[in-house]
Structure 1
Amino acid sequence: MQKRDRGLATTTMEQKKLQYIQEDLERSRSFLQQQLKSLKLSIPFNYNKIFCVGMNKTGTESTKAALIELGFQFAPQLPGERMLKDWAERRFDKLINFCYEYQCFKDIPFSLPYTFQILDTHYPKSKFILTIRDNSQVWFESIKRFHGQLFSQGKTPSWDDLESASYVYKGWIAEASKYIFQADDYGLYDQSRYIEVYEFHNQMVREYFRYRSDALLVINTASEGSYDQLCKFLDVSPVRTKFPHLNKSQ
């Protein structure tokens, strides 16, 4: 009888020990899943981050949609836009820390001059995508029309319209016009001024990566074959034949 009791006790202890092992394995599995999730898909690829550095209204929304469909994860846009003044003062410490948490990025301040050089330094082996329009005139008309739709019922916005607009926070879009295009009540939507900034930025990006074609892709999302170029650049299999067309302002 005592042997039987000892046998039962041994079996119970072994069952409890097995239960503890199973619970520990489950905790370990859960922890590893969380760690893999936090890596934001960085493991399967031989590059670090993806920075979309084309200026606003160059197909950045379509690029984002295509990348998400391919399985990439984008950072929220608002925190970056709130760093506009930091960008104007060339202070990038917050931005560098922000980028650590995510995989893909677009629009302000990533779409502005000087940002990409800092990101390339702090996040080596990253990919940069410069989206462009058919020509500078097309881009200017698109951004002017888009702002009109957002801030002034379809008309070219005035400085007062921008100062009273509540995008990001009240007056943010007016600050953006001042910091990026040196435009206030004077020079607002001056075609030559805006196009000069647009072309300067594009030229800076191209020149910086001149001898590193593996790091930079220049594409017009409306062009035939541009989607396949993107997939080849990122070494992923395409899931469609061309870019989705989003955020259309014409």
Structure 2
Amino acid sequence: MKVIVAGFSKTGTKSMRSALTELGFSVHDYPEHYQYNGELWRKVLDEGAVKGEFHRMYDDVDAVVDAPAFYFWREIHEEFPEAKIILTVRDNEDVWFNSWQNQITQIMKNNFVFKLASSITPTGYKFNRYSSEVGETVYGMRRSFIPLVFHRNFKLNPTLSKKRYREHNADVMQNAPADKLLKFNVKDGWGPLCGFLGVQQPETPFPRKNVGGTIMDDLMTTHPVFMRLGRETLVSTSLLGGVAIIGGWRAMRFFRSRWGSGKKSTTS
């Protein structure tokens, strides 16, 4: 482990993932935390971390970014004391909150396939349960037992969300080793980042990812976990459709037989 990106979600974490990957680092982001260590993370979220657990998760990974890793930056750094810490931030907390709320709105309103998959597929159910635990522990959200497909929107509490954002950033700034910490806005570009990491600056522009909060649309077509969600959704909807057709046909035969027998007895 060489880099711990300790910034909150929607502080340029997807841009940071892309930038670190371009610089040659192997990176685990939110999907990989679930894909490779989902059960271990659920244990940490439920029971706390056991010494050596994060080392087991990330010994062969260069960098971590986004939830739930950013929330446990201190514990991860204790197991990888030579790792550098990057606190990604937005211009101010209002800009951050608006971006965070927009991403959740985009998922709830515009990605029906993901919501459906989270409700009717095995992988979707597991991912939704994992995300609910992350949401409760990391973001302070209340768990919902209503399937995502029935959610039309989800409004965050702006006061509590901003408070959590402020407290997290203050914790990192006050407690991370000063010689290993960089406070970074992705608008600053390659210069400060490459200087801090001691690597050569690329000639390409600094990446800008997930600008409109549409990351789920991208993941559904590119990431193995979410592509599997899509495939399972097709199978599940086909099975449910078949069950509905068979059930409808049997119900029709039942009522027709009842209606027919009732008609005959009345005539006689």
Same fold, judged at TM 0.5 (above): yes
Q: How many residues in Structure 1 have an aligned counterpart in Structure 2? A: 192
Determine which of 186, 194, 205 is the counterpart of 1:231.
194
Q: Structure 1's 164 and 144: CA in aligned 2 closer, same or farther, altered over 3 A?
A: farther
Query: Any conservation in 2 of the 1:136–1:198 contact (CA below 8 Å)?
Result: yes
Shift in Å at residue 81 of structure 1? 5.3
Q: Structure 1's 240 and 63: CA in aligned 2 closer, same or farther, altered over 3 A?
A: farther
- What's the TM-score once normalised by structure 2's chain length? 0.63
Shift in Å at residue 176 of structure 1? 2.8
Match of 1:216 in 2: 181
Determine which of 98, 102, 106 is the counterpart of 2:61.
102
Shift in Å at residue 168 of structure 1? 6.0
Shift in Å at residue 151 of structure 1? 2.7
Identity of aligned residues (%): 26
Gaps of 5+ in 2: 145-153, 214-268
In structure 2, the residue corresponding to 1:218 is in which secondary structure? strand
- What's the TM-score once normalised by structure 1's chain length? 0.67
Shift in Å at residue 171 of structure 1? 3.7
Match of 1:32 in 2: none
Q: Structure 1's 228 and 168: CA in aligned 2 closer, same or farther, altered over 3 A?
A: farther
Match of 2:95 in 1: 138
Query: Any conservation in 1 of the 2:93–2:165 contact (CA below 8 Å)?
Result: yes
Determine which of 17, 21, 39 is the counterpart of 1:68.
21
Q: Distance in 1 between matches of 2:77 and 2:136?
A: 26
Q: How far does the alpha carbon of each residue in 1:73-103 deviate from its partner, in whole angstroms, 9 at most, with x for none?
A: 2233323555145135322543331111211
CA-based RMSD of the aligned residues comes to: 2.9
Shift in Å at residue 120 of structure 1? 1.9
Q: Distance in 2 between matches of 1:137 and 1:144?
A: 11
Spell out the pairing of 1:71-150 with structure 2 (5 A cutoff).
Answer: 71-75=24-28, 76-78=32-34, 79-80=36-37, 82=39, 83-84=41-42, 86-87=44-45, 89-92=47-50, 93-112=52-71, 115-150=72-107
Q: Distance in 2 between matches of 1:215 and 1:125?
A: 8
When you count helix as a share of all residues, which structure comes out higher? 2
Q: After alignment, is 124-133 or 232-241 more displaced?
A: 232-241
Comparing both chains, which one has the higher relative contact order based on Cα–Cα distances under 8 Å and sequence gaps of 6 or more?
2
Q: Distance in 2 between matches of 1:61 and 1:241?
A: 17
Match of 1:19 in 2: none
Query: Any conservation in 2 of the 1:130–1:218 contact (CA below 8 Å)?
Result: yes
Q: How far does the alpha carbon of each residue in 1:17-36 deviate from its partner, in whole angstroms, 9 at most, with x for none?
A: xxxxxxxxxxxxxxxxxxxx
